[in-house]
Structure 1
Amino acid sequence: MLSGLDPSGGAGIQADIQAITSLGAHPLPVLTCLTVQDTRNVYGAEAVNADLIRQQLACLTEDTPIHAIKTGALGNAAVVDALVEFLESHPGIPVITDPVIKAAGGGDLADEELVAAMKEKLFPKAEMITPNGVELALLGGSDDLDQAARNLMEAGCESVLATGGHGTGVHIINTLYNHAPEPMTWEVERIGENEYHGTGCTLAAAIAAGRAMGLSPRAAIAQAQNYVHRALLHALTVGKGQRVPDRGILWER
C-alpha cells in the first residue's frame, strides 16, 4: 500500500498495516507523505520524493508478488505519476484507492494539482475508489451523489464505493456503483453518534486485503465492512479528538 504517515497512529499507513495484517495478508508499506496530525485534525503534510517511491516499488516487485494495491494520501502529483508508471508496467493488479483529500477536522491533504492527477491518471487504473460523501461530491462535481458517481465512471472509474460514515441515521449506507444497471447497497449499524479517526483508511485497506487473498470485489467489501464494524465496537480513546478503530481485534478467518 501507498499511504501517508499519521503520527497519532489513528489513520494512514499504520491503519493500513494493522487492518491488512489482521485479515491475514502481508502488507508492503510504501510511505508517500509525512503529516503533522493528531486525532483532531491535519495541520501540515510533506510528500516523500517520488523517485524514492519509484525505487521502492521496483525493488519490491523484483522480490515479492503483489496481489493488490491500496492507496491513501499520496502527497503530490509527482507521487501519482510514479505509481501510474508502475501500474502501466504491471497491469492486472487490483487497485483500491481511498481518495484522501481532507481530514475529518477539515485539514487539507491534497491540492488541486494532486486531485487533478488522481482523477485523470489514477482513477482510470483503479478497480475501485472509496470516497466518503464529501469527497464524492467534490470529485464528481455534484452534490447529487448518484450523479457524482456516474460522472466519475464516465470519466474512467471502473467502480465507486460511496461510503456513508459521514452521514447521519441509525445505519451507515455504503453504495457500490459500477456498470451494472443498478447500484448495490449495504446497511451497517452506526456505532455511536460521532465519526472515528481512520475509518476510511481501514475500510479501503481491508478491501485490498480481501482482494489480495482472492475474494471477489463484493465479497471483499462485505468482509471489510464486518471487520470495520467490529473494530469500531472496540474503538480506542487515544487522544482528545476522534476515537480510533481497534484494528488489532482478533479476526476469525
Structure 2
Amino acid sequence: MAVVIANILTIAGTDPSGGAGIQADIKTFSALGAYAASAITAVVAQNTQGVRSYVALEPAFVADQIDAVLDDVRIDAVKIGMIANARIAETVADRLRYHAARNIVLDPVMVAKSGHSLLDADAVAAVRELLVPLVTLITPNLPEAAVLLAREDGWTADDMQAALPDLLALGSAWVLLKGGHLEDNAQSTDLLFGRDGMTAFPAPRIATRNDHGTGCTLSAAIAALLPSHGMVDSVREAKAYLHGALAASNALDVGLGHGPLHHFHRLWPQHEPAR
C-alpha cells in the first residue's frame, strides 16, 4: 500500500535570510517528509541581526492565496505564523473556517528574536478572539502568553503550570506553553496541556547563538507530524527534531547575528562546524 505524503500549508511572513517564517516552515515540512504549500501574509526585511521593516499584504490577496491552495490541494494540516494585523487575522480565520481546515497549529508570532514587533497592537484581540478558538494547538512562548492573557511578563515554573487552564480557556483544543524564557540555564521545559491533562517535555539547553527561527520550526514540525501522529507524540517528535537542528546548527555559517537552525541535519552529510 502506498504511503500518502501529508500536504501542509503554512500561512506566515517571509524571512529573506532563510532562518524563520515561511522559509523555515517549508524547510521543516520537507525535512520531516511532508509536502509544503504556503500563503504569505507579510513580506519582511530581516536577517540574523534583526527586522528592518515589513509590509503586510492586502487581506484580499492573502485570502486569494489561501483559497487557491485549498480549492485545489488536499491539506492535512495548517501552520499559522506571522499575522501582522487585525484585518489579516480576520481573513485567515474566515477562509480556514470556510474550508473546514483541520489540524491547525497557531504560533502567535508577536515579537522577533531581536525584539522587533511583528504584530500591530490592534491585532492581539483579533488573534485571541478569532484565531485561537479555531485552532487545534497554540504554541506561545512566555512573553506571548503574557500578552494573550493580558498579564505582566516575568514567569516562574509554577506560574507556567498555573496559566495553562487560562490559556486553554481561550478556546484552542491544546496549548503548548514554551519555557525557553525561564531563567534556567540547564533545562528548557515546554508544557502541553489539554482536556486530558498535562505532559512536560524537558530538554537540555544547547549552547549556541544559532537559534533564529526556533519557534517557527517547532510549530511547523508539529503541524507536519499531526496528520500521522497523536498530539503528544507529535510534540515529542517535533521537540526531538528541533533539538537535533539546534545541536547541529554550528555546522552552518550564516549571518553575523543569531544564525539559523540546521533544518536538514538528518539529511545532509555531516560537516565540521564553521570556524
Fold conserved between structures, TM > 0.5: yes
**Structure with the greater alpha carbon radius of gyration:** 2
- Unaligned ranges ≥5, structure 1: none
Query: What letter matches 1:243 in structure 2?
Result: G
- Unaligned ranges ≥5, structure 2: 1-9, 154-158, 268-275
Query: What letter matches 1:222 in structure 2?
Result: R
| Alignment equivalent of 2:163, drawn from 148, 163, 172 | 148
Aligned-pair CA distance for 1:193: 5.9
Aligned residues of 1:95 and 1:128 also touching (Cα < 8 A): yes
Q: Kindly tell me: are residues 183 and 195 of structure 1, through their superposed partners in 2, closer, same or farther at Cα, counting changes over 3 Å?
A: farther
| Alignment equivalent of 1:131, drawn from 140, 145, 151 | 140
- 2: CA distance, partners of 1:170 / 1:195: 17
Aligned-pair CA distance for 1:227: 0.6
Aligned-pair CA distance for 1:155: 2.5
Indicate the residue corresponding to 2:200 in structure 1: 185
Q: Say yes or no: does 1:63 pair with 2:72.
A: yes
Aligned residues of 2:75 and 2:101 also touching (Cα < 8 A): no
After superposition, the C-alpha distances for 1:55-89 in whole angstroms (9 at most, x for unaligned) are 12222122110100001111211211121112222
Indicate the residue corresponding to 2:234 in structure 1: 220
Query: What letter matches 2:190 in structure 1?
Result: N
- 2: CA distance, partners of 1:62 / 1:134: 36
Q: Kindly tell me: are residues 233 and 193 of structure 1, through their superposed partners in 2, closer, same or farther at Cα, counting changes over 3 Å?
A: closer
Deviates more, 1:74-83 or 1:203-212: 74-83
| Structure 2 length-normalised TM | 0.86
After superposition, the C-alpha distances for 1:33-59 in whole angstroms (9 at most, x for unaligned) are 011211122232211111112112222
| Alignment equivalent of 2:191, drawn from 175, 183, 194 | 175
Aligned-pair CA distance for 1:250: 2.3
Tell me the SS of whatever aligns to 1:134.
helix
Deviates more, 1:230-239 or 1:159-168: 159-168
| Alignment equivalent of 2:178, drawn from 122, 146, 163 | 163
- 1: CA distance, partners of 2:90 / 2:235: 27
- 2: CA distance, partners of 1:152 / 1:141: 11
Query: What letter matches 1:203 in structure 2?
Result: L
Indicate the residue corresponding to 2:4 in structure 1: none
Aligned-pair CA distance for 1:21: 0.4
After superposition, the C-alpha distances for 1:206-253 in whole angstroms (9 at most, x for unaligned) are 0000013x21111111111111111111113311111210002226xx
Indicate the residue corresponding to 1:20 in structure 2: 29
Deviates more, 1:141-150 or 1:111-120: 141-150
Indicate the residue corresponding to 1:233 in structure 2: 247
Aligned-pair CA distance for 1:160: 1.1
Aligned residues of 1:166 and 1:195 also touching (Cα < 8 A): no
Query: What letter matches 1:16 in structure 2?
Result: D
Tell me the SS of whatever aligns to 2:148.
helix
Query: What letter matches 1:242 in structure 2?
Result: H
Query: What letter matches 2:26 in structure 1?
Result: I
Aligned-pair CA distance for 1:90: 2.4
Aligned residues: 250
Tell me the SS of whatever aligns to 1:18.
helix
- 1: CA distance, partners of 2:248 / 2:241: 11
Aligned residues of 1:140 and 1:149 also touching (Cα < 8 A): no
Aligned residues of 1:136 and 1:149 also touching (Cα < 8 A): no
Aligned residues of 2:211 and 2:258 also touching (Cα < 8 A): yes
Aligned residues of 1:98 and 1:129 also touching (Cα < 8 A): yes
Query: What letter matches 1:231 in structure 2?
Result: A
Identity of aligned residues (%): 34
Indicate the residue corresponding to 2:6 in structure 1: none
Q: Say yes or no: does 1:9 pair with 2:18.
A: yes
